[in-house]
């Protein structure tokens, strides 16, 4: 299982994913890898070619009225095409399209996200998003535990 923190640390709350994965301890299961990808979408796409059983994306999600609210979502990984693929951006749909364009398969994907307050240019999370980091760490741990218990498809 790959746990990927994604986001731009120079855009305030968009740096949520990298901040969360930096606080995750190393997982005792050698089949679980935690990586801060930042905005390196093609790096993530290439790493997904290694045939992971599951992907956990940790990312900022748009504000829908509750900045700092942590959400766990199942990602729809099909349907995106390689059109508009940007090797220097981090857009999950583009990453998934890149994996398919390279001949790979996108694993089942869960997103642990946090509603942002601001993605203005600055380093550091807003107070509500910073206060949600520990809850997100626990949410990632819960998702990983659940995914490790599920039987793997052959």
pLDDT value of residue 8: 95
Cα atoms found within 13 Å of the Cα of residue 119, Cβ hemisphere only: 13
Coil, helix or strand at residue 66: coil
Report the C-alpha gap between 143 and 57 in whole angstroms. 11
pLDDT value of residue 152: 55
Report the C-alpha gap between 129 and 114 in whole angstroms. 7
Report the C-alpha gap between 61 and 71 in whole angstroms. 9
pTM of this structure = 0.89
pLDDT value of residue 78: 65
Q: Which CATH number is 2-149's, of 3.30.479.30, 3.30.1390.10, 3.40.50.300, 3.40.50.1450?
A: 3.40.50.1450
Low-confidence ranges of the chain (pLDDT < 70): 77-90, 151-154
pLDDT value of residue 82: 45
pLDDT value of residue 33: 95
Domain coordinates in residue numbering, the chain = 2-149
Spatial strand order in the sheet of 33-38? 33-38, 2-6, 55-61, 109-115, 70-74
């Amino acid at each position: 299982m790959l746990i990927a923190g994604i986001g731009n640390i120079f855009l305030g709350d968009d740096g949520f994913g990298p901040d969360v994965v930096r606080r995750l301890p190393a997982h005792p299961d050698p089949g679980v890898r935690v990586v801060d990808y930042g905005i390196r979408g093609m790096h993530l796409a290439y790493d997904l070619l290694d045939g992971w059983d599951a992907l956990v994306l940790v990312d900022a999600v748009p504000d829908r009225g509750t900045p700092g609210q942590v959400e766990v979502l199942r990602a729809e990984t099909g349907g995106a095409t390689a059109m508009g693929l940007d090797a220097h951006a981090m857009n999950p749909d583009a990453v998934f399209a890149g994996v398919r364009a390279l001949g790979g398969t996108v694993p089942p994907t869960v997103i642990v996200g946090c509603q942002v307050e601001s993605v203005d240019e600055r380093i550091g999370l807003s107070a509500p998003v910073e206060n949600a980091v520990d809850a997100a760490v626990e949410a990632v741990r819960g998702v990983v535990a659940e995914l490790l218990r599920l039987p793997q498809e052959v």
